[in-house]
Amino acid sequence: MESTQIAANNPALKSWIEIPTGSDFPIQNLPFGIIESGSLSKRAAVRIGDFVLDLKTLYVLGYLENLAFGPEDFDNPFLNSLMKKGKKATRDLRNRISKLLSTENSDLKNNEHHVAQVLIPIDKVQMCMPVQIGDYTDFYSSREHATNVGTMFRDPANALLPNWLWIPVGYHGRASSVIISGEPIHRPKGQIKPNPEENPIFAPCRNLDFELETAFITFDGKPLGDSISTEEAEDYIFGMCLFNDWSARDIQTWEYVPLGPFLAKNFASSLSPWIVTLDALQPFKVDGPDQDPAVLSYLEFQGQKSYDINLEVIIQTQSGEENIVSRSNFKHMYWNMAQQLAHHTVNGCNVRCGDLMGSGTISGPTEDSYGSMLELAWKGTKPLMMKDGSERRFILDNDTVIMKGFSEKNGIRIGFGEVSTKVLPAK
């Protein structure tokens, strides 16, 4: 469905709720998340400006009637029950919320007693993991990132492996260690091999890295044995969030042959709390990179499947100073989400409601747009200088890595907020 047909995307919409200038969360966004506070159990909510809209209370007060949802869909510690209703139902819900918050509608606005019950300042709630993740897949879909890594560790003339331009490479990750923004991690431990001429040792990771990614969350897919086409794929995607897929580079270097990353990746992956619906991102569709050689038939697609999403990575040192180390964009990704989901299911693999699909590290074409410290500091040979005079080859203990993202067009900014994680010393 085209963006012009989604009522909540209308750029002319204004809300009776005051939205700060430059906010990630205007009325055209309305991302979904899970909140709780001292007086509220975990429940579904929508973000607008500096407020959250309590959907459970909104439902109880009768504002969400004649939709596909019941009380259990909002009075729930995860969004899965809500997402189980599918694309049309969640679109109808977002459109209804948009109507209630619009200056053109006074049903909620004029009932101050109800407004006081359903609208809560963001600083009065705690954000929780939005989705109960069943399975997690991480892709490797940035040509620039794959080329940089191949150049560093293999032959620059053959940086891309032979299959890379033919398939959206991916691997199955660990869902249990996906954590919410704000939750700190401890430096992981494992086997590393500092000296190629000596045996490996067991030690804390020395080359801890972030990976700048986005992720998409799926609705229920098709039954086992069936596949989802590129044409259908976006109907099975609920929304997107920011994703920091941490990586222990020195552990990975030793362990990844022959089966790929294991301890180097399964210790933590950090997720932003607000799921921006794919509907809200429709106005920001753009053409993706040219794909040469021509893809196989099941990976062919029509129209625009890439999205113009500005991304930023910040290292906050222990002193509290913030250092912007990367500015990139999701539109650089060689393989798009429709192709990733089509490839994931072409063999009959079934995806389920709440599955998480990581984009893979998002690196752009310039040195300041690389999506990992491995690239930004070029395997440690070009350390980054921080404002406090220290330097970074990789992430140090007590550093906090913050990622932000937003799309902007015609004066409308649709943002993701941030994903922030502090690194604590190894246990």
Q: How many domains does the chain have?
A: 2
Question: Is residue 139 very low, low, confident or very high in pLDDT (cuts 50, 70, 90)?
Answer: very high
Identify the CA nearest to 47 among candidates 414, 353, 401.
414
Both 107 and 229 in a single domain?
Answer: no
3 has a pLDDT exceeding 70: no
Inform me whether the pLDDT recorded for 154 exceeds 90: no
Query: Are residue 93 and residue 210 in the same domain, yes or no?
Result: no
CB 401 within 8 A of CB 244: yes
* Whether residue 116 is found in the same domain as residue 254: no
Residue range 217-253, pLDDT digits in tens:
999 999 999 999 999 999 999 999 999 999 999 999 9
Asked if the model's pLDDT at residue 33 lies above 50, the reply is yes
Residues in the chain: 427
The residue segments making up the domain with residue 123 are 3-128
Q: Are 73 and 219 members of one domain?
A: no
From 78, 103, 128, the end of a domain falls on 128
Clarify whether residues 180 and 279 are in a common domain.
yes
Determine the Cα–Cα distance for residues 309 and 319; give it in Å rounded to an integer.
Answer: 30
**For 80-99, what is the mean pLDDT?**
98
Average pLDDT of the residues of the chain: 97
C-alpha–C-alpha distance, residues 214 and 328, integer Å: 12
- CATH number of domain containing 42: 2.30.30.230
269 and 298 inside one domain: yes
Under a CB-based contact definition with an 8 Å cutoff, are residues 398 and 423 in contact? yes
Task: Pick the catalytic residue from 113, 145, 172, 343.
Answer: 145
Average pLDDT in the 94-101 region? 98
Q: Residues 25, 109: one domain? A: yes
* Tens-digit pLDDT profile for residues 293-329: 999 999 999 999 999 999 999 999 999 999 999 999 9
So what's the pLDDT on residue 1?
39
Is the domain of 285 the same as that of 406? yes
Whether residue 31 is found in the same domain as residue 109: yes
Has residue 281 got a pLDDT over 80? yes
Distances in whole angstroms, Cα of residue 358 to Cα of each of 97, 183, 204, 272, 364: 28, 19, 26, 12, 17
CA distance 82 to 275: 13
Q: Residue 200 sits in a domain of what CATH number?
A: 3.90.850.10
Instruction: Read off the tokens for 190.
Output: 């494992």
Which secondary structure element, helix H or strand E, spans residue 94, and what is its range?
A: helix 86-101
Q: Which of 100, 128, 156 is the last residue of a domain?
A: 128
Of residues 345, 392, 139, 143, the one with CA closest to residue 243: 139
The answer on pLDDT for 2 being more than 60 is no
Positive or negative, the CA dihedral 364, 264, 215, 183 is: negative
pLDDT bracket for residue 424 (50, 70, 90): very high
Task: Taking residues 209-223, report their average pLDDT.
Answer: 98
Q: State the average pLDDT over residues 398-424.
A: 98
Q: Please say which residue of 81, 106, 128 terminates a domain.
A: 128
Q: What is the pLDDT of residue 155?
A: 86
Same domain assignment for residues 88 and 219:
no
Tell me how far apart the terminal alpha carbons of the chain are, to the nearest angstrom: 50
Based on the residue annotation, tell me whether 172 is a catalytic residue of this protein: no
User: Tokens standing for 55?
Assistant: 């959907």
Predicted structure pTM score? 0.97
Span 336-349, pLDDT tens digits? 999 999 999 999 99
**Short-list 297, 311, 301, 261, CA closest to 415:** 311
If asked whether residues 210 and 159 sit together in one domain, one would say yes
**Residue 141 and residue 99 share a domain:** no
